Amino acid sequence: MLNAAYLGLMEKAGTADYFGTAFIPVVLRVLFHGLNSKTNSQDATLLEMGKTQNQLQLNPTYNPAFGSWLNSIRDFEPLQKNFTLKEMKGLYGPLLNASQFGPFTNPALLRECKGGKLTIECGLSINFLFLNTSLKAQRSIENLLCPDPASACFDISANPPLSLKAVGLFVSDLSKYVMWYLDANNYGLTTSRKQSEITLGYVMEKLPIPDDPNGIPVPGAVTSHAKESDVKTNSTFYTCESTDGGRFTYAGKFNVCSQNIYFVLSTSRSQTKLLTAGDFNEFVRTRVKVIP
């Protein structure tokens, strides 16, 4: 079925390309969290990400490992090697850090940066947009990739044009990896969902963001309310009897009406019936039609 959550994300972002770029740090942090549990440390993961051939079993088409990605492109043969931990800390530092990657959560600063008022605060991604026209952009990129020459530095001085081209193309390909990640986790344009998820909603647990650290919540077809009084004011269909004896009723989650969250179902107002969990499932099965 068509994924309304995906459409909402793309509408908020503006374009799929913009979303794919802005969410690079989010998706890479999720990736590294999983890889670190396998390699036992982030340093070990970074070393694997820098190898021409790694043991991480990542997607070869949308490859987020710089070393093996670079090794697959003939034009970058002069740069191909197994990179050091210091180099990978320099490269992945701004890719994993949202504030160093781009001010996508700061609209005012983002407008200034896109308008050409470039600073290091514009981040790696925005400065790359001006790489061919601004020396200031190149200097900011160099500083972001090498914040500490002793411990975190992706040094481009040996071949600046080719190195910058490689990093810029890698960032572009990472945005494609983000869009693949959505599809791979059932978050893409089309999705398969349980009836309960369609009705009650669900959480995109593998897309944590600062405002929603546990994942982006996706509302269901059933409206939820924090107070019974809200249900009486805003809703027309209910399943639980009103506590004040009135004719209005509300819907309770998990077969209990006197909880702090209430749900509205398509039942007749004249039939104020408390649905059990089994009744609810039967109601969804027989009354709710999902259009692919």
Between residues 182 and 109, the one the model is more confident about: 109
How confident is the prediction for the chain on average, in pLDDT?
77
Angle, vertex CA 156, rays to CA 155 and CA 162, nearest 5: 150
Q: Has residue 257 got a pLDDT over 50?
A: no
Picking from 283, 281, 282, the residue whose alpha carbon sits closest to that of residue 267 is: 283
Amino acid 260: pLDDT: 36
Q: Which residues contact 262 (CB under 8 A, 6 or more apart)?
A: 224, 225, 226, 227, 228, 230, 231, 240, 250, 251, 252, 253
The tens digit of pLDDT for each residue in 48-100 reads 999 999 999 898 899 999 999 999 999 999 999 999 999 999 999 999 999 99
pLDDT per position as a tens digit, 233-251: 544 444 444 555 554 444 4
Pick the residue with more confidence: 291 or 224?
224
CA dihedral of 161, 87, 100, 167, whole degrees rounded to 10: 30
Query: Quick one: pLDDT at residue 217?
Result: 73
Using the predicted structure, report yes or no on whether residue 255 has a pLDDT greater than 80: no
For the stretch 286-290, contacts whose Cβ atoms lie closer than 8 Å and that sit 24 or more positions apart, written own/partner, are 288/195, 288/198, 288/199, 288/221, 290/1, 290/195, 290/198
pLDDT of 166 > 70? The answer is yes
